[in-house]
Amino acid sequence: MLVTGGTGMIGQYLVRALRERGHTPRVLSRSSGDVQWDLEAGILSDGALDGVDAIVHLAGAGIADKRWTEARKKAIIDSRIRSTEVLEHALRAKRDHTVRSFISASAVGFYGSRGDEVLTEESTAGDDFLAKVAVAWEQAADRMQPLGLRVVKMRIGIVLAREGGALPEMAKTLPLGVAGALGGGKQWYPTVHVEDLAQQFVFALEHPELEGPYHAVGPEPIRQKDLMHTLLDATGRSAVVMPVPEFGLRLALGEMADAVMMSSRCSAEKLEAAGFAFRYPTVSAQLKALYRD
């Protein structure tokens, strides 16, 4: 199987998890990895699809790496759509390809910010920037279907890991004795431990009956403010949880404040009903596992 973005944070956990299950993943990368692609030229290196039965597509320019200028927003969308199209064209061109499954990353940002509304995979899409990114990415992934591929869209939530993503940012001020309740902290965060997320992708790969969108999140979402209290408990630190006003976040982050203010009250019910079992089901278990050493 081929993993795009296999060099990234989630990708590295996924590649490790796949190897542990006896699979032989190959990483498709712009510059390192086992096989390469040139997205501007629209080409994969020779033999990149040989013997490949499944593609996991994680690659894309980092959502929160840089301020959302118009140029950055274009890069965030284009990198995901263009890369999916390059894969689609390569599959069309290789008539004897053996790829049967296409497992694409997407995000709970698909729904936009929805307050206390309980969201399922059937809920409608939002219309803010992140929603537009997810919708366009999923539509690009769906274009693999007419080629006879099974398409699964993993709507990833807030991935908890020590190496990157939201957690190190939220934990940054703890040594100063303060924790931020962002914009008041009432928004729902559907957290998932990065190892469980990697296993969710493995599950999607190994279960051919899965098709369509799935929440790649934990069993229970948590309000951001409560997440900070749970984090304090897991780290054994004491800090005051202080409200950070939304206008301050907007001054500091610009439109990217949407990403931290986003409320996505959703769970992994559909994936669990399909048989997925969590190693770290509660937010407390997720955080304690990450901070145990």
Ligand X SMILES: NC(=O)c1ccc[n+]([C@@H]2O[C@H](COP(=O)([O-])OP(=O)(O)OC[C@H]3O[C@@H](n4cnc5c(N)ncnc54)[C@H](OP(=O)(O)O)[C@@H]3O)[C@@H](O)[C@H]2O)c1
Residues at the contact surface with ligand X, assessed by CB under 6 A: 5, 7-11, 29-33, 39, 58-63, 75, 79, 83, 105, 107, 156, 158-159, 165
| Cβ 223 to ligand X shortest distance, Å | 18
For ligand X, give the closer residue by CB, 89 or 95: 89
Alpha-carbon distance of 154 to 105, in angstroms, equals 5
| Cβ 73 to ligand X shortest distance, Å | 12
User: Tokens 């929440």 — which residue?
Assistant: 215
| Cβ 65 to ligand X shortest distance, Å | 7
For ligand X, give the closer residue by CB, 36 or 284: 36
CA 241 to chain centre: 27
Alpha-carbon distance of 249 to 256, in angstroms, equals 9
User: Which helix H or strand E contains 171, and what residues bound it?
Assistant: helix 166-171
For ligand X, give the closer residue by CB, 64 or 178: 64
Q: Which single residue brings its beta carbon nearest to ligand X? A: 8
For ligand X, give the closer residue by CB, 201 or 276: 201
| Cβ 197 to ligand X shortest distance, Å | 8
Residues near 269 by beta carbon (within 8 Å), at least 6 away in sequence: 120, 215, 219
Residue 228 · residue 183 · CB < 8 Å = no
For ligand X, give the closer residue by CB, 142 or 178: 142
| Cβ 207 to ligand X shortest distance, Å | 20
Residue burial 54-68, b: 16+ Cβ < 10 Å; e: rest? bbbbbbbbebeeeeb
